[in-house]
A and B are shown apart, each in its own frame.
Chain A
């Protein structure tokens, strides 16, 4: 019963979202992304530039803001005979379709420190570089994925490990990988890299073993038997260990 009720709620929410979406797109602006970096290192200075051709029928107020550090935002509306512009921490310009044919919006500032790392949801690491409103309604937002040297290296190590782990069925590799993700998310990049490499090594060594067994025939069967014997012997040896 409660399932039905909750699914009704979901349907309602979807309808509502659709309705809002339609209202939002009714006045959508077709932006040209003149310069929008996808990602940037923390502390570097970046510029985001977008523009659009004015095709509205009536005058509108365009505002822009940015979460970059020490951001300067500027809006320039220009036409054959007129130019209107504003800049500062935020900017606001009256765009008049009778006078202006193009609007350019720019944000310049430093990439702020990352407060939360999330390997699986890189969005969390984004910074909002530029957000534009027209008559109070949001019409566009541009985000930049940010990283530090260490976080980037760790993310790369995790990406590599993930590929290896996904292709293997090793539980140990998977649990090491999960741990590497936890470490990454808590900002422990050095340990994350180490653990990701452990995961990758484990996954790959398993992969190689598999390859060996698959391609081999009777000869390899013997090799495997010996290998198995050695493994058994070693595991017997290890049996008295407490730590792993």
Chain B
């Protein structure tokens, strides 16, 4: 599946940069075009792979390239004011060559949090291609304002995109390690998960084309219907196979055949681990509306029975009749299962996020209303004997 990726804000830019690196390294061919949008000049300069002419600085008139300081209302305003500059960069995208747009942003900050829903709304009005969001939720230790930003942006972003894929930093925080220090590793995890998923629809002619390869339309259909999505993933190493080397041809025989029972059980076990292990957004999988299973690895290690069993198992676990499945053949000594769960409803983390956000909002309101009084008592003398200058 070919995507036009737009990284909004610092986190968004860094993650899109990582996608480019992954694409380059693995030859996945997912990112057709990449754009970074930010109100902070320094953040744009910090990017490595997004071409400089695709880096758009917005809000210069208002914040002079210094960012919006986690004020996402301001983020939304300047995105709206400077949407033409963003569109200028989007104009360079060969839209007929892409399957969808993907807007990536950290929802806890200011620029990406406020701007990405604005951009989604704009793109949807202009293009017929689906517009997806990849929203990153802040870690629980980041504080009330980030949580409040995320809760408000989440609500708006879900409404404006065709599907919001969510990654929760909080679930991926290692104990005793601040998220800050771990962003690099976390970003690798993000990119691997979504990379395998989107890469599945991008099997090139040179690869081994199997019977049941996942294609872009299956990803799009799983995401259509909207709502919120999460991804589960698990991988395992397997013995590298010498497929069709001179020596093995000489020996004849079928030494590249892999025991089919163990192949099946490896796949089903990977599917379970993927769906029951850590999801990008932890949630109850019971009641999920649609799902897509992608099993990837060397063709000798993929079989239809395993994928079919994994798919059936997902149907049982989710209670959904709309579970798609297929393979993504790759020549590398690993087998992996990626599970896209679309239309999730039972997400305790979101409820918790909203609760904390409401508390933060109330706290801010109280302090604001008290602050005027407090300032008054400070500035005015008690008997009101002093007069202001003018």
A interface vs B, CB < 8 Å?
171, 174-175, 178-179, 182-183, 186, 188, 190-191, 194-195, 239-244
A183:B278 contact, CB within 8 angstroms: no
**Mask: chain B, 282-296; 1 = CB below 8 Å from A; 0 = not:** 000000000000001
Q: Is B201 at the interface (CB under 8 A from chain A)?
A: no
8 contacts between A and B (CB under 8 A): A171-B185, A182-B276, A182-B277, A183-B276, A191-B272, A239-B25, A241-B26, A243-B334
Interface of A is mostly: helix
A174 contacts across to B, CB distance below 8 A = 174-175
Additional A-B contact list (12), CB under 8 Å, known A171-B185, A243-B196: A188-B272, A191-B272, A194-B269, A240-B27, A241-B332, A242-B192, A242-B195, A242-B330, A243-B296, A243-B332, A243-B335, A243-B336
Q: Is B297 at the interface (CB under 8 A from chain A)?
A: yes
Q: Is B273 at the interface (CB under 8 A from chain A)?
A: yes
B174 contacts across to A, CB distance below 8 A = 171, 174-175
Q: Nearest Cβ distance between residue B62 and chain A, in whole angstroms? A: 36
**Mask: chain B, 38-55; 1 = CB below 8 Å from A; 0 = not:** 000000000000000000
- Number of B interface residues in the complex (CB < 8 A): 29
Q: Nearest Cβ distance between residue A153 and chain B, in whole angstroms? A: 16
A178 contacts across to B, CB distance below 8 A = 278
Q: Is B98 at the interface (CB under 8 A from chain A)?
A: no
B269:A244 contact, CB within 8 angstroms: no
B333 contacts across to A, CB distance below 8 A = 241
Interchain CA distance A138-B217 in the complex, whole Å:
62
Q: Nearest Cβ distance between residue A183 and chain B, in whole angstroms? A: 6
B296:A183 contact, CB within 8 angstroms: no
B272 contacts across to A, CB distance below 8 A = 183, 188, 191
Interchain CA distance A188-B332 in the complex, whole Å:
28
Interchain CA distance A190-B270 in the complex, whole Å:
11
A244 contacts across to B, CB distance below 8 A = 192, 235, 237, 334, 336
Q: Could you say which of B26, B185, B277, B335 contacts A183, with CB atoms under 8 Å apart?
A: B277
Interchain CA distance A183-B269 in the complex, whole Å:
11
Interchain CA distance A174-B174 in the complex, whole Å:
9
Q: Nearest Cβ distance between residue B20 and chain A, in whole angstroms? A: 14
Interchain CA distance A119-B239 in the complex, whole Å:
33
A190:B297 contact, CB within 8 angstroms: no
Q: Is B28 at the interface (CB under 8 A from chain A)?
A: yes
B273 contacts across to A, CB distance below 8 A = 179, 183, 191, 195
B296 contacts across to A, CB distance below 8 A = 242-243
B27 contacts across to A, CB distance below 8 A = 240
Interchain CA distance A194-B265 in the complex, whole Å:
12
A190 with B269, Cβ < 8 A, contacts A183-B277, A242-B195, A244-B235 known:
yes
Q: Nearest Cβ distance between residue B172 and chain A, in whole angstroms? A: 9
Q: Is B9 at the interface (CB under 8 A from chain A)?
A: no
Interchain CA distance A239-B188 in the complex, whole Å:
12
Q: Nearest Cβ distance between residue A173 and chain B, in whole angstroms? A: 12
Q: Is B199 at the interface (CB under 8 A from chain A)?
A: yes
A191 contacts across to B, CB distance below 8 A = 269, 272-273, 276
A240 contacts across to B, CB distance below 8 A = 25-27, 332
Q: Nearest Cβ distance between residue A6 and chain B, in whole angstroms? A: 13
Interchain CA distance A190-B27 in the complex, whole Å:
35
Interchain CA distance A169-B346 in the complex, whole Å:
33
A183 contacts across to B, CB distance below 8 A = 272-273, 276-277
Interchain CA distance A242-B200 in the complex, whole Å:
11
Q: Nearest Cβ distance between residue A110 and chain B, in whole angstroms? A: 28
A242:B26 contact, CB within 8 angstroms: yes
> Which interface residue of A188, A239, A242, A243 has the most chain B CB atoms within 10 A?
A243
Interchain CA distance A85-B276 in the complex, whole Å:
51
Interchain CA distance A30-B195 in the complex, whole Å:
64
Interchain CA distance A242-B199 in the complex, whole Å:
9
**Mask: chain B, 49-85; 1 = CB below 8 Å from A; 0 = not:** 0000000000000000000000000000000000000
Q: Nearest Cβ distance between residue A242 and chain B, in whole angstroms? A: 4
Question: Chain A residue with minimal CB distance to B266?
Answer: A194
> Which interface residue of A194, A195, A240, A241 has the most chain B CB atoms within 10 A?
A241
> Which interface residue of B27, B174, B234 has the most chain A CB atoms within 10 A?
B234
B334:A241 contact, CB within 8 angstroms: yes
Question: Chain A residue with minimal CB distance to B330?
Answer: A242
